[in-house]
A and B are shown apart, each in its own frame.
Chain A
Amino acid sequence: MSAAPAFFDEAVDEQGRIRDHYRPVQEWFDRLSLEQVKALEGQRNESFRRQGITFTVYGGDEGTERTWPMDLFPRVIDAEEWAMLERGLIQRVTALNRFLDDIYTGEQAILHDDIVPRRLITSCTGFEREAMNVAVPLGARCLVAGIDLVRGADGTYRVLEDNLRNPSGISYVIENRAAMTKLLPAAFADLAVRSVDHYGRSLLRALRSIAPPACGDDPTVAVLTPGIFNSAYFEHAFLARSMGVELVEGRDLVVDDHVVAMRTTRGLERVDVIYRRIDDHFLDPVVFNAQSTLGVPGLMAAARAGTVSIANSVGNGVGDDKAVYAYVPDMIRYYLGEEPIIPNADTYLLWEEDQRAEVLERLDQLVVKPVAESGGYGIVIGPTATDAELAEARDKIMQDPRNWIAQEVVNLSRLPAWAGDAFAPRHIDLRPFVLCGEQVEVIPGGLTRVALREGSLIVNSSQGGGSKDTWVLGRPDQPKPEANR
């Protein structure tokens, strides 16, 4: 075994002093008694249960529906740090949009110029040939992006992965904030915490901005959900409600003469923009999975005809494939002529022979991930894996090296979380949400996920993780910018 890993503490500096931006929060929690914390926990659970704020775990033995685990101790990001992250996220998502547009409707210049190898794209399961030459207004292909950030031992923020298809979690960001303002109103005192509850308005504005130009000033937007059995159904309903638009399933939509309409009590009503939360392969049985009952026959042809816009765009999986991820810093340099503001985590491409050889020798020290999965599924963490698990990972890598990447273990930063009888350090990450329309906008903060088990580095809610409200502090000279709208 290697030496005990060092961690970056979010709230405490190297000398053991509370960092400035955490001082008010820390002092507020220091004054709470055990009974007070337990009472708050009870109120929180009751509130989430009553509102039905739950999530579903696939493949679990126990009941699959669980109430949302939000830890009471918030994450705090100061104004200066957030300004850097905001710039870095805008830069990254801008480059990814340019890349996707280049691949699907552009000249594929980045392939011709040999910055990204062509075969990396043609071998990508998320590369949708059916989306070829389907234009997207404003090139806003990642209309909603969720970029996962982590901080290693040195405190540097790094991008761990991009989620450009159907990133979920924003509803929990908003619900966490709503719960916190109810439970701990006093903790916000004297802090200019930037609000997140304008998300619905911002999302609607972004969606309307990509409406087909011919549809006029008042485009109709709908949220397309797979239905109530989907793990994120709560979020789909939440988003439709917060935007004031219809929540529809595939069978509610019909395509006639390459125009999409929804069946309503008032008859058919034309739809101009679809915020879909259905995977590409189920979206249209004419061109994708013919057995899909979730999709809308003819939808892709309508999108190609330009009568409807689909968000996120079909085929975005080619941008968040984990092997393509390794090239995002090069994309930023290529399309924007800038150096990446937020670096990648150190990543090895296993189809490159020399990198693979090195990885196979150090398999027990690295994290191995399948390139097209999300939610933590299929990941092998070398230091904690059994010999059998490592052998299996080795076999899988040898069988299909294109399907795997390896990364150095990132010793996620720590922040206090309630551990039953006291606050104790637990590992966290951060998923900020980025919206692209006329402009690129980052929602202040994002979803902080926390590994609730001691020592665990797995923050996925599907794997026993929880979440924290994330407070971005306004600059002293411009308090609460969103509140002024």
Chain B
Amino acid sequence: MRLDICYRTAFAFDAPVRESQNELRACPVTDGRQQLLSYRVTVEPSARMLSFTDYWGTRVDHFGVAESHTCLEVIAEASVETQDPPAHSAAPPMESLGDPAFLNEHDEFLKPTRHTDWDQAMAGQARTLAEANGSDVVGAVTELNEFVGTRLAYETGATEIGEPITEVLAKGVGVCQDYAHLAVALCRSIGIPARYVSGFLFSSNERTGSIDGDLVRVQTHAWLEAAVPSLGWIPLDPTNRLAVGRQHVKIGHGRDYDDVPPLRGVYSGPGTPEVDASVEIRRMDPGRQPSTLLRPSLLAAVKAPRTREQQQQQQQQ
């Protein structure tokens, strides 16, 4: 599927700020399932870009605005061709997770992190769910993914980034980041390496994955990948329990959100921002030339978190 994506975030400050330094991670990765056709970042006020690939393989665009400013707008436009992943039929047993070479390779995806810190009760629950499904790894991750999808109710604004995953589970509500973090934590708690994926979902409804027309207005999406011995990384989307396929555009992965935030940065000055963030995705006719400039739409403003020292860390919803 040919998808053209326009990611836009705008900050309107109520007083001038300066020395803003930012990192953008919004570029679709090229991997076995998708191919990036074009990518362009524009920033206003204009700034020099430093683009590089980080440790996790994600493209990062770094830019700073030294002079005083009251608005900052970031637009990233991408064209990408996506495919469904190949079907897999192997069913490696849970014991295969204990292979020393496999453990050595996946150690960093087995440890708790700030957003995936599970407790004993969660690990017990994960163990029970996995065992109920027989003893193979694919069955276990599918079961955990189902559990998260049915256990949490989708509700925007009910949680904040940084909320402990045990709290999210207790409340039973969250958004895609919470679904992904919870599923990652459950997998890791029973020794299945799992990583958090940041990306875009071409869908009119994040929770069901339904598509209505060729143009959708969304936010960034999140899902997960689990490592299965002899199969490699298999993707799962607990928010809608869709098979991860052509609708999913992956930006990158990491241990949790903190390794792949779409936009992070700091600035100095007394101003506090109104943040306006949006993503538009258009399904294109195959063969059509990329780089059609999309008109960004204005969505409702989202308050960014504040700190007293004016060392704000800008985060996407």
Contact = CB atoms under 8 A, between A and B. Distances in A.
A255 B52 contact: no
Contacts of A292: 311
B266 A290 contact: yes
Interface in A281-324: 285-287, 290-293, 297-298, 301, 304-305
A50 interface: no
Contacts of A304: 50, 52, 62
B48 A132 contact: no
B48 A258 contact: yes
Nearest to B107: A119
A305 B50 contact: yes
A293 B309 contact: yes
A256 B307 CA distance: 24
B104 A297 contact: no
Contact of B264 (A118, A122, A286, A298): A286
A286 B22 contact: yes
A291 B21 contact: no
Contacts of B52: 133, 304
Contacts of B108: 119, 122-123
B104 A256 contact: no
Interface string A226-248: 00000000000000000000000
Given A118-B107, A122-B108, A290-B266, A254 B66 contact: yes
Given A129-B55, A286-B265, A257 B64 contact: yes
Interface string B47-85: 110101111100000101010000000000000000000
A19 B223 CA distance: 70
A257 B50 CA distance: 9
A285 B311 contact: yes
A258 B64 contact: yes
Interface string B90-129: 0000000000000111011001000000000000000000
Contacts of B48: 257-258
A255 B64 contact: yes
A258 B50 contact: yes
A255 to B, nearest CB: 6
A305 B49 CA distance: 10
Nearest to A287: B23
B313 interface: yes
A133 B54 CA distance: 8
A298 B21 contact: yes
Contacts of B259: 129
Among B47, B66, B309, the most chain A Cβ lie within 10 Å of the Cβ of B66
A376 interface: no
Given A118-B104, A254-B19, A293 B64 contact: no
Contacts of B56: 129
Contacts of B268: 297
Interface residues of B, number: 31
Given A118-B105, A129-B54, A291 B307 contact: yes
A256 B108 CA distance: 34
A293 B23 CA distance: 19
A117 interface: yes
Contacts, number: 80
A119 B103 contact: yes
* Interface secondary structure of B, over-half rule: mixed
A314 to B, nearest CB: 13
Contacts of A256: 64, 66
A130 B62 CA distance: 13
A301 B311 contact: no
Nearest to B103: A119
Contacts of A117: 104
Interface in A115-138: 117-119, 122-123, 129-130, 132-133
Contacts of B47: 257
Contacts of A257: 47-48, 64, 66
Contact of A123 (B19, B111, B266, B311): B111
Contact of B21 (A293, A297, A305): A297
Contact of A293 (B53, B111, B311, B313): B311
Which of A123, A129, A255, A297 counts the most B-chain CB atoms under 10 A from its CB? Answer: A297
A250 to B, nearest CB: 11
A262 B62 CA distance: 21
A119 B103 CA distance: 8
B311 A290 contact: yes
Most buried by B among A129, A132, A286, A287: A286
Contacts of A254: 19, 66
A304 B105 CA distance: 27
A285 B266 contact: yes
Nearest to A255: B64
B54 A301 contact: no
Interface string A401-434: 0000000000000000000000000000000000
A132 B54 contact: yes
A301 B62 CA distance: 7
B195 to A, nearest CB: 13
Contacts of A258: 48, 50, 62, 64
Contacts of B103: 119
A364 B53 CA distance: 49
B23 A286 contact: yes
A136 to B, nearest CB: 16
A118 B193 CA distance: 15
A282 to B, nearest CB: 12
Contacts of B105: 118-119
Contacts of A290: 264, 266, 311, 313
B107 A122 contact: yes
Nearest to B106: A119
A123 B255 CA distance: 12
Given A119-B104, A129-B54, A304-B50, A298 B64 contact: yes
A123 B105 CA distance: 11
A312 B137 CA distance: 44
Interface of A: 117-119, 122-123, 129-130, 132-133, 254-258, 285-287, 290-293, 297-298, 301, 304-305
The 6 closest A-B pairs by CB, nearest first: A119-B107, A129-B55, A298-B21, A256-B66, A132-B55, A122-B108
28 contacts: A117-B104, A118-B104, A119-B104, A119-B108, A122-B108, A254-B66, A255-B64, A256-B64, A256-B66, A257-B48, A257-B66, A258-B64, A286-B23, A286-B266, A287-B23, A290-B311, A291-B307, A291-B311, A293-B309, A297-B64, A297-B265, A298-B62, A301-B21, A301-B23, A301-B50, A301-B62, A304-B52, A304-B62
Interface of B: 19, 21-23, 47-48, 50, 52-56, 62, 64, 66, 103-105, 107-108, 111, 259, 264-268, 307, 309, 311, 313
Given A122-B108, A129-B55, A286-B266, 18 more contacts: A119-B103, A119-B104, A122-B107, A123-B108, A123-B111, A132-B54, A133-B55, A254-B66, A255-B64, A256-B64, A256-B66, A257-B47, A257-B48, A285-B311, A297-B19, A301-B23, A304-B62, A305-B50
